[in-house]
Chains A and B, each alone.
Chain A
Amino acid sequence: MSTFKENKNVSDRSGSDRQRHKDKIDKAIKDGIHDIVADESIIGKDGKKKIKIPVKGIKEYRFVYGDNENKKNVGSAQGKDIQRGQKVGQKDKGSPGQPNKAGNEKGEEFYEVEITLEELAAYLFDEFKLPNMQKKKFKKISSKSFKRHGYRNEGIRPRLDKKETIKKKIKRKKKAIKNNTYDPDAEDRFGFHHDDLRYRFIKEKKKPTSNAIIFFVMDVSGSMTKEKKFLARSFFFLLYHFIRSKYENTEHCFVSHDTVASEVNEEDFFSKGSTGGTLVSTGIDKCLDIIETRYHPSTWNVYVFQCSDGDNWPEDNAGCFKSATKLADLSQFYGYCEIEPAENRGRWLQMSNLSELLSPLLRDNFKIAEIRKKDDVWLAFQRFFGGFRE
């Protein structure tokens, strides 16, 4: 005699393993994001635009056979009219009956994740904030503060509230025990269920905050090659989105310089180049000028981010150091980013190196980062705003 048993168990046994798998995918997304933060396709896009990022599936590797001539696959044909030498499929498009999958054990799995730049910013900048923000005299500028507003079932991963989720699960478990659908003495885990998930729901609340002015200072001289400018712009682009996603109505000031500096608009800043020599002090002095006339440090938090390839005319060094010191003294934070693609090192040896020149200024509110390749953009960001990863 067979036996029949109704399983009314409401526990979701694979829940925790699915979560663990999802965590790995999330991590892959985050890692993938770092690969694409400096991708040409996203630089210059506006925040609402959706971008697709491919995330590699989490694979379980084993010894498997690759596809080669000696690996003969046997399968069923549709009919009898198949001929030797006939083509039945293409690599990458898949062998017969196996679309997009060559061989029967391997195959690249991709999760294509579609997110907006704003969501991307939420993923990226969750733990970052502008350092040393201080209350200044007039509180007229609001920052988007993410005011908590209860919980929802849906949300993005960083906002998952673990404590609330567990509480919900415990409630469900108690109910299940009461209704005799779950035996607490059974070995079976009472797993998480989709409905248990509680995400912090966040309502934007405008909170009066301290005034802040952000200076974007870029060297656009001839020695800044197209590649270097691209890296600098990637960095500024990220920075710009970071600030916009977290601080509403901060003021931005874009300064580009070669041997003279000028304040430019956002569009020109992200697109225009120049061919002249380099006097870095002009850029710094321009900032000092603007601060003097429009953003007095007693009422404004001043943030300065500067990108350059480090080349400067030697005769400008003394003035540059003096100005930079002055600017650092009145800034909440001054981040200097040296763009220096590795292969170009040594070409301008007669020039001085700005990061060496400025290194005596290093302290909590003055930091130097180096960007040699795309991946470093994110590291520079972490160096300025997050924990250090060295």
Chain B
Amino acid sequence: MSDWSIDSLEEWDDRIIELAKSHNLDWFPISYEICDYYAMIGNMAYHGMPLHYRHWSYGKSFERTHQMYNLGAEGLPYELIINSDPSIAYLMRENPFYLQLLIMCHCVGHSDFFKNNLTFAETGPENIIQRFKNAKKRIDSYIEDPSIGIEKVERILDSAHALSLHIPPNCKEYIPHRERRKELITRIKSGDPLVINRNPDQFPIDDEIDLLSFISEMALNLEDWERDIINIVRLESAYFMPQIRTKIMNEGWACFWHYRLMNELDLPQKFHIPFLKSHNQVVTPHLGRINPYHLGFHLFLKIEERYGLEECFIAREVCHDESFLRQYLTEEDCHELNLFSYSLYKRDYVVNEISDGDGWKEIKKSLIRQIGSNSVPKIIIKEVKSNNVLRIHHEHDGRDLELGYAEKVVDYITTLWGGVVRLDTVIEDEPFEI
């Protein structure tokens, strides 16, 4: 039925590798797993992790992908590769040959990006599979523990998931509050002029944005297994955060390379048109939204055109999406990509700016605000007051929180913190407290 065999994939893989190396791409060895559609979306639900702890949200994610597939997205080439060494990638058995090759080229681009981009420096790809496996084992053991069980585990997981994106964007390791306080006291005693005016009894001593880590350390009534689950969610989040922060670049880089490699591979003529069709489908703009494949691909092409291929390699190493757009997105790009901005005014979505000489800078600014971790509201733990009241603050930047959601998340924080939680924010220009 299919027009390929593993032998033929291996044969063409050799050619892809040779070609990619000649372009100075440098990636982890890739371990391809061939699976059917059903297993594919199963793996997608768990972000491609071969072993991952259980949670109903992954079942929901499966159903949603499945539903989208049934709604006509079935033509899309699913690609899934994880940042590990070796990189594990999945190929759908149902794919035709040319599509397997396209995905393999695309995966080489991703793996090169994982290996070389500085944002990923601390993700530990060599042992991530093992870390997820251990996490799963522990969570399974809590689920099976008769004194804990699935309901209690879900209670903690549901709550921790709600906060998982509230970690420092650079994912720097959390230094326990107790240690920081001790250090501050030592410095004050030694007469360090930088800290002499600080009060070591302020709690927390610094504004805290690492919500999960702080709660795990300082909440009074958590049990060990509960702290462990919170830390597991924090660990997973730190691992995935670089992917959230480089979505545009990462996909752009992979598209840039699959496009080039496929063109240079000397494919049989009959594959050429289907390949271009699939490629165009992937990099097509999405009306009213940003398709990261489209934007990233466009920008890497432009960088090569403007500054040479060497510059592309520099960007792939040192940038993340925010700095990438800041540095490389020009007026010409905004205009060519037909970027515009819009917002809700009364009951209608109304165009604010278009990419002309006046508008493009505003558009660039708004675009940068909506990508990666900038799309996550900044939430800061300000103070633990007497009676264990946790006061958190939303750093309002013009965008209001969705209140219905915020209230639920405050409930989740209350669950984890085990005391009263107060959130202050701004709604329609008025101070607001939940």
Contact = CB atoms under 8 A, between A and B. Distances in A.
Nearest to B335: A80
Interface residues of B, number: 92
Interface string B272-303: 00000000000001111111001000000000
Interface residues of A, number: 66
B13 A74 contact: no
Interface stretch (B118-126, B250-258, B362-370): B362-370
A12 B286 CA distance: 33
B287 A77 contact: yes
Nearest to A92: B347
B42 interface: yes
B222 interface: no
Contact of B351 (A78, A86, A92, A103): A86
Contacts of B400: 65-66, 68, 70-71
Nearest to B158: A60
Contacts of B340: 74-77, 82
Interface string A46-81: 000000000000111111111111111111111110
A188 to B, nearest CB: 7
B406 interface: yes
Interface in A77-105: 77-80, 82-92, 95-98, 102-105
Contacts of A69: 343-345
Interface in A1-49: 1-7, 9, 12-14, 16-24
Interface stretch (B201-209, B310-318, B374-382): B374-382
Contacts of A97: 286-289
Contacts of B47: none
B133 interface: yes
A161 B16 CA distance: 52
Q: Interface SS of chain A: helix, strand, loop or mixed? A: loop
Contact of B58 (A17, A59, A65, A96): A17
A13 B42 contact: yes
Given A60-B161, A61-B412, A106-B402, A75 B289 contact: yes
B18 to A, nearest CB: 11
A16 B54 contact: yes
Given A76-B294, A96-B349, A89 B6 contact: no
A96 B342 contact: yes
A187 interface: yes
In the complex, the 6 A-B pairs of residues with the closest C-beta atoms, listed nearest first? A96-B288, A97-B288, A17-B59, A18-B59, A21-B59, A76-B285
Given A71-B399, A89-B349, A189-B54, 14 more contacts: A3-B31, A60-B60, A62-B165, A72-B370, A74-B367, A76-B286, A84-B351, A84-B354, A90-B347, A91-B347, A92-B347, A97-B286, A102-B344, A103-B402
Interface of B: 6, 9-10, 13-14, 17, 29-35, 38-39, 42-43, 45-46, 50-51, 54-60, 62-63, 86, 104, 133, 136-137, 150, 154, 158, 161-163, 165-166, 285-291, 294, 337-345, 347-354, 359, 362-363, 366-367, 369-370, 375-377, 379, 394, 398-403, 405-406, 408-409, 412, 428
17 contacts: A1-B29, A12-B38, A16-B59, A17-B54, A17-B58, A20-B150, A58-B56, A63-B405, A64-B402, A65-B377, A72-B369, A75-B339, A76-B340, A78-B338, A80-B338, A89-B288, A91-B348
